[in-house]
């Protein structure tokens, strides 16, 4: 079967595929495992991954972009590594995209091929333009009956596969230009329509190496349901799962019933749970909450984790055996920047310590916080950050604080203390009440501490940063009978009165959020305006 890579690798001098397949462990054990498909069981070992990657490497025209319009699947990492191995660029999309959103993504990423399932074919056909559509078929198994799509119209993954061997695969990937762009990640940066953050082969390998952790005193088994194409998930799901041989169970998406069931069924010890997932777990049934008890580490990111939400989540567990809740902070433009490595258990609101090679500098314009700490916009440098916004020179210039493209503007207000990084809020979301600066997370944290509140999102009433501003709080009630005035009375035990008295509380059914859990403040502003 597949041969093992024997030469010692340094992360700054090998391609992504070679790095991902360089781990030394039993190559026959299942690593990528379908958490929901058990008849027949679907799983991929390292040997099987090598075989499949070899069969697909070279099927795409070099130096082109391949878009995966797919939900989480254990074949997704195989497809990405085959794209990388073909000296092509990978870009991933959200299957919930509308036709205009998908059309924009395909156009600005210069996509030549789109791989999708028949379920999404109608949307993809309308958005693809001149890009070739390839139908996803399950190449873990022999070709099954015909597809509803015309074979003459679309090729399938089975059609594209070709015979290859491990030696030719490694010969191919060792010739890859490490400075070539490998990944185009969709991002709005701090403003504007989505752009494509371009990151190189070497950048993706360096990030993977930076976030690796030492062996832990428990068996790591991970369950993933976060979007694989997002920067929070991609380096672990696509690269490190295979590199480290970590049993990784994939779900297409979060489900209130299935997710806790799968944690118990597979004795899961680690998972990724953005704050909105934590909110749903907190509000889940007692039976579902009992099914979470095997967890030892929970990684969270993509949105701010307010301290009260963290505290509520930890109350779901036996306090003698509660998991570590470890924050991850970064951007699509620069990858992971901070986290806490096991076994550090930080009880503050810090988003972690800087990863090796990462640096932060604050802007000269500073805000004085109530605790006396000075905070400013954080400029970040990452050794594995983006080289540019793809074909967008003006946006690239605006993204960096300096002409040498060293310091990236994050748009986050924060500070560094005792080696730990703290984020206060987004630059554009800070507002003033009676001349005093107010950060929405402070109010959101206070709301989340109330038993009558299920979720909350806060914005300022305007953009003038003036004394006439006041907070608008959108609240999802846990107690449907509680009134705005009653909530204000409760808040006054936690916040100074000027922050509470002027607060306009509006009740809604759900807080609009991105796939990774960031509160969509622009959507809240639209609600406020209407």
Among 64-73, 235-244, 408-417, the range scoring the smallest mean pLDDT is 408-417
- In tens, the pLDDT along 81-130 reads 999 999 999 999 999 888 888 999 999 999 999 999 999 999 999 999 99
Between 180-184, 297-301, 316-320, the lowest mean confidence (pLDDT) is in 316-320
Whether residue 414 is found in the same domain as residue 458: no
In a domain, 243, yes or no: no
Q: What is the mean pLDDT of residues 50-70?
A: 97
As separate numbers, helices (DSSP H) first and strands (DSSP E) second, the chain gives 19, 26
Mean local confidence (pLDDT), 230-253: 96
pLDDT band at 334 (very low <50, low <70, confident <90, very high): very high
Region 252-281: mean pLDDT is 95
Predicted pLDDT of residue 52 = 97
- What's the confidence (pLDDT) of residue 502? 83
CA 294 to CA 156: how far, in whole Å? Answer: 40
Confirm whether 422 is domain-assigned: yes
Please state which of the ranges 155-159, 236-240, 302-306, 339-343 shows the lowest mean pLDDT. Answer: 302-306
Q: Residue 418 to residues 337, 340, 352, 478: CA-CA distances in angstroms?
A: 16, 13, 11, 37
CA 236 to chain centre: 10
Q: 363 and 437 share a domain? A: no
Query: Cα(5)–Cα(3) distance, rounded to whole angstroms?
Result: 7
340-352 pLDDT, tens digit each = 999 999 988 899 9
In this structure, are 147 and 193 located in the same domain? Answer: yes
Judge whether residue 478 has pLDDT over 80: yes
State whether 394 and 362 are in the same domain: yes
Tokens of 118: 């028949």
- Is residue 404 scored above 90 in pLDDT? no
Task: Say whether both 350 and 469 belong to one domain.
Answer: no
Q: What is the pLDDT of residue 430?
A: 63
pLDDT of residue 467: 41
Same-domain pairing of 119 and 262:
no
Distance of CA 228 to the CA centre of its chain: 7
Whether 401 and 446 share a structural domain: no
Tally of domains within the chain: 3
The reply to whether 237 falls in a domain is no
What per-residue confidence (pLDDT) applies to 434? 58
Residues 408 and 500 both lie in one domain: no
pLDDT number for residue 445: 81
* Matching residue, tokens 């369950």: 223
- By residue range, what is the domain housing residue 298? 220-225+248-428
In a domain, 505, yes or no: yes
Residues 310 and 412 in one domain: yes
CATH of the domain at 510: 3.30.300.30
pLDDT at 501: 84
Q: Which of 407, 428, 449 is the last residue of a domain?
A: 428
- 401, 409 in Cβ contact below 8 A? yes
d(CA 519, CA 508): 14
Closest C-alpha among 435, 443, 436 to residue 459: 443
Q: At which of 142, 177, 205 does a domain end?
A: 205
pLDDT score, position 529: 85
CATH number at residue 349: 3.40.50.12780
Q: Is 242 among the domain residues? A: no
> Phi/psi of residue 339, each to 5°?
-170, 180
- Assess if residue 279 is contained within a domain: yes
Answer yes or no: do 149 and 285 share one domain.
no
Beta bridge partners of residue 134, listed in sequence order: 115, 155
DSSP type of residue 236: I
Q: Which of 19-33, 41-55, 440-454 has the lowest mean pLDDT?
A: 440-454
Looking at 405, 428, 451, the residue that finishes a domain is: 428
Q: How confident is the model at residue 437 (pLDDT cuts 50, 70, 90)?
A: low
Q: Tell me if 355 is assigned to some domain.
A: yes
Residues 115 and 179 reside in one and the same domain? yes
Q: Does residue 177 share a domain with residue 304?
A: no
Structure tokens at 163: 């015979």
Is pTM, for the whole model, over 0.75? yes
235 assigned to some structural domain: no
**162-166, 308-312, 433-437: which has the minimum mean pLDDT?**
433-437
Question: Using an 8 Å Cβ cutoff, are 4 and 221 in contact?
Answer: no
Average pLDDT, the chain: 90
Cα–Cα distance for residue pair 506/523, rounded to 1 Å: 14
pLDDT of 148 higher than 60: no
Q: Which two tokens stand for residue 358?
A: 């990462």
């Amino acid at each position: 079967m597949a041969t093992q890579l024997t030469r010692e690798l340094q992360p700054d001098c090998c391609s992504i595929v070679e790095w991902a397949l360089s781990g030394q462990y039993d190559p026959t054990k299942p690593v990528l495992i379908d958490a929901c498909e058990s008849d027949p069981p679907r799983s991929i070992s390292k040997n099987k991954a090598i075989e499949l990657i070899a069969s697909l490497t070279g099927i795409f025209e070099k130096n082109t972009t391949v878009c995966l319009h797919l939900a989480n699947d254990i074949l997704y990492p195989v497809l990405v590594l085959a794209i990388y191995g073909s000296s092509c660029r990978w870009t991933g999309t959200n299957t919930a995209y509308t036709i205009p959103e998908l059309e924009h993504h395909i156009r600005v990423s210069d996509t030549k091929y789109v791989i999708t399932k028949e379920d999404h074919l109608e949307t993809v056909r309308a958005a693809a333009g001149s890009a070739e559509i390839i139908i996803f078929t399950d190449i873990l198994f022999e070709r099954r009956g015909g597809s509803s799509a015309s074979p003459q119209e679309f090729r399938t993954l089975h059609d594209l596969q070709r015979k290859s061997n491990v030696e030719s695969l490694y010969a191919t990937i060792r010739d890859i230009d490490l400075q070539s762009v490998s990944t185009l990640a969709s991002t709005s940066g701090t403003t504007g329509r989505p752009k494509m953050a371009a990151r190189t082969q070497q950048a993706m390998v360096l990030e993977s190496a930076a976030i690796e952790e030492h062996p832990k005193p428990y068996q790591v088994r991970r369950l993933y349901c976060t979007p694989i194409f997002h920067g929070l998930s991609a380096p672990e799901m696509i690269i490190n799962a295979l590199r480290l041989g970590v049993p990784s169970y994939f779900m297409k998406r979060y489900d209130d019933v299935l997710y806790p069931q799968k944690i118990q069924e597979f004795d899961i010890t680690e998972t990724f749970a953005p704050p909105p997932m934590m909110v749903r777990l907190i509000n889940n049934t007692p039976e579902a909450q009992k099914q979470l008890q095997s967890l030892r580490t929970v990684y969270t990111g993509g949105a701010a984790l307010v301290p009260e939400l963290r505290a509520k989540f930890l109350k779901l567990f036996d306090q003698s055996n509660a998991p570590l809740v470890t924050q991850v902070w970064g951007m699509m433009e620069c990858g992971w920047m901070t986290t806490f490595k096991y076994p550090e258990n930080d009880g503050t609101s810090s988003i972690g310590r800087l990863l090796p090679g990462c640096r932060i500098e604050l802007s000269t314009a500073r805000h004085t916080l109530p605790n006396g700490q000075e905070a400013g916009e954080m400029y970040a440098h990452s050794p594995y950050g983006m080289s540019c916004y793809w074909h967008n020179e003006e946006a690239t210039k605006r993204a960096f604080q300096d002409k040498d493209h060293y310091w990236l503007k994050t748009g986050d207000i924060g500070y560094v203390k005792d080696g730990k990084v703290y984020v206060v809020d987004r630059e554009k979301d800070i507002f003033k009440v009676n001349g005093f600066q107010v950060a929405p997370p402070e109010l959101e944290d206070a709301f989340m501490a109330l038993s009558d509140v299920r979720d909350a999102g806060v914005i300022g009433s305007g953009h003038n940063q003036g004394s006439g501003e006041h907070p608008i709080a959108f609240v999802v009630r846990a107690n449907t009978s509680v009134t705005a005035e009653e909530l204000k009375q409760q808040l006054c035990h936690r916040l100074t009165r000027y922050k509470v008295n002027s607060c306009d509380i509006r009740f809604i059914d759900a807080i609009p959020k991105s796939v990774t859990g960031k509160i969509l403040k622009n959507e809240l502003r639209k609600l406020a305006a209407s």
